[in-house]
Amino acid sequence: MLPKRFLYHFCCPCRYVGKLWTAQGTPLDESHRLPDFEALEDTPSQNGGTVDFRVGWNEKGLAFSVRVEGKKHRPWCRVTRPEDSDGVQLCIDTRDVRNIHRATRFCHRLFILPGGSGLNQAQPTPLWLPINRAKAHPNPIPVERMTLGGKITDLMYRLDFVIPADALTGYEPLEFHRLGFHYMIVDRDIGNRSLLHGYPFPHNEDPSLWATLELQGE
């Protein structure tokens, strides 16, 4: 049976933020939190755990804050196996084209792993990968230009990161104020959590399955 979420198209507000980054990370309060659409389902996840996903924007880029709680182990992250690693998978369409099933040059795919780099592989790692079956690909996101921070414990992890505006092909928020958007949290403890659609749907390559972020002013 199709999940209830499949029957609707969802548009979420993405609120303006004056600064994308501070000494404490991304300054995104509760008003930047995305809804939990899994709550629409009759049978919520049996693995427990919670995901707090926040996003904000301004002319200089997009800011994100992700908190995953209820874990039993530290995240498993391998830069050579990003699709299998614990972490965040993002899809962003800077034109929010709703009636296509193959990505365009405005569609981006990112992996943000809570570990995998640095001493003891405890530093967060951003990765850009092309989208399968895309009609055309955007300029690769220079992940070394992203601002990234986080925290890992045995019970949770938090990721804060910023994607600069000029790293996103087609990001022109004053002219195009809607973004196609999708995320998937992959986690070996609490299970996979998606904004709308996960497996078996081709969520990481079909823009028609993504939600819309509506960029709202100050």
Q: What percent of the chain has pLDDT over 70?
A: 92
Q: What is the 3-state secondary structure (H, E, C) of the chain?
A: CCCHHHHCCCEEEEEECCCCCECCECCCCHHHECCCHHHHCCCCCCCCCEEEEEEEEECCEEEEEEEEECCCCCCCCCCCCHHHCCEEEEEEECCCCCCCCCCCCCEEEEEEEEEEECHHHCEEEEEECCCCCCCCCCCCCCHHHCEEEEEECCCEEEEEEEEEHHHCCCCCCCCCCEEEEEEEEECCCCCCEECCCCCCCCCCCCHHHCEEEEEECC
What confidence category does residue 46 fall into, taking pLDDT thresholds of 50, 70 and 90?
low
Q: What is the pLDDT of residues 125-175, one digit of tens each?
A: 999 999 999 999 999 999 999 999 999 998 999 999 999 999 999 999 999
Q: What is the pLDDT of residues 98-124, one digit of tens each?
A: 889 999 999 999 999 999 988 788 899
The pTM is what? 0.93
